[in-house]
Structure formats: structure tokens, C-alpha cells
Amino acid sequence: MPVAIITGAGSGIGRAVAVELAGRGWDIVLAGRRAEGLEETARLAGRGLAVPTDVSNAASVAALFAAAKAEYGRIDMLFNNAGTNTPAVPFETLTAEALSEVIAVNLTGPLLCAREAVAAMKAQEPQGGRIINNGSVSAYGPRPHSVAYTASKHGITGLTKSLILDCRYFGISVCQVDIGNAATARTDRMSQGVPQANGTTAIEPRMDVEMLARHIAGLADLPAEVMVPFSTIMPTTMPLYGRG
């Protein structure tokens, strides 16, 4: 079976992708800060190696990849999905600690995970694999009061482009999925109304997270010689275009 490492696997998008991949015959390695969330994902998926991980910590990430290789022998896919955010408040009111946490989890974490994945994928036989980065639509269209999150997700686009360039001759394909309003606990606030680029507040539509998981699993299941560098998936009526 192919082997996937999924960060942020204890809930939301990560959990949905883990369950979908397991249903398609993948072995899954579940990474996240809360052991209980990872164990629940493994139960829902019917299998999975749960490895509590702080993606912003290099030693913790190295231990995650070592555990995956010890259990399964290789790594075929990394889904860089773990993320966090700050409250939607004026930028100047955020603490330095809050800003640092967003960058550490949303950008440093994917960098550390990708570094381990590239090393493993280059060294294994047969060589290669796939890295899928969760970019978010904020990678190119910011929301009001989202400076730290938006900056981190623009960084993910740079990571994706650089990895595409550096990894293509080693059988490693890299892509970015920019997601808009998947229906998870994190987007519950959309149904209450959120600030818009024109200064108003409006309720925004959300899409089924299982449908999103099928899209990501479809990218993972592509033949090794094929990649989709960037894709955006969101509700048809989401008010994204026009906000930036």
C-alpha cells in the first residue's frame, strides 16, 4: 500500500483526507498536537499510525518521519495541512507571540515537513513521491484583518513553486490546493457572517469537507508522471473574486 503522512490530522480537513485515503487503500500516518484527536481519526479511518507532533519543532518533525519509515518503510505522500490563525482584529493590536505562532505553524511547519519528505523520497527505492500543500485561497486573496495568516499562506505558494523546481528530477511532484470555506468547525463563523473586502459583513457559503477530501485524494492518486501544480476549490457562490 502507498503511505501518506497527514499533518493536522486530528480534525477537520486533515481527518477527512485521512479517512478518504484509507478508504482508497492507503496506509496513513496521522500527525497533530492532540493524541486523542489522532486516535479518533484512526478509529474512523479503520487504521492509521498516530504520532503526536508539533510541526513547528524540527526534532518533533524528524521523529514523525522516523516513525513513519520505521512502521511502513517508505513515504509516498505528504499532505502539509496543519494550520492556525489569529483573531480577525486590527493588525497593530496583535502580539508578537501571536504573529510568531502563525508563522511557526503555517510556514515553518510545512518547510520542516517538506524537508524531511524530500530527503526520504530522494533516498527511497523506487525514488519519488508527492507533496500536497494546503495553501488556502488566502494565498492570493486576503480577507480583512488577516495579515499574519495571509502572509504565511503566500509563503506556502513560494514553498510550492520552489519545490516544484528543485524536486522534479527526483520523481517528486509538488502541488498546492487553495481551499475556500470547507465545512469544518473552523469555518462555523461563516454561517454567522464575516467581514468582507467592501466593509460589510455577510454570511458565506461552505462546501462539504468530504467532497474536498475526494479532490485531494484524487491528486494523491494521480500517476507519478502527472501533477496539478495549483488548484482552487471553493463554493460556486463564495465571494472570493473581487476581494484582492
Catalytic residues: 149
Query: Whole-angstrom Cα distance, residue 55 to residue 9?
Result: 12
Tell me how far CA of residue 24 lies from CA of 3, 140, 143, 199, in angstroms: 11, 31, 35, 44
Task: Please state, as a whole number, how many other Cβ atoms lie within 10 Å of the Cβ of residue 126.
Answer: 10
Query: Whole-angstrom Cα distance, residue 65 to residue 74?
Result: 9
The torsion region of residue 128 among left (phi > 0), alpha (psi -120 to 50) and beta comes to: left
Beta strands in the chain (DSSP E): 3-7, 27-32, 49-52, 77-80, 129-134, 172-179, 194-195, 201-202, 230-233
CA torsion through residues 230, 138, 75, 15, sign: negative
**φ and ψ at residue 147, rounded to 5 degrees:** -60, -50
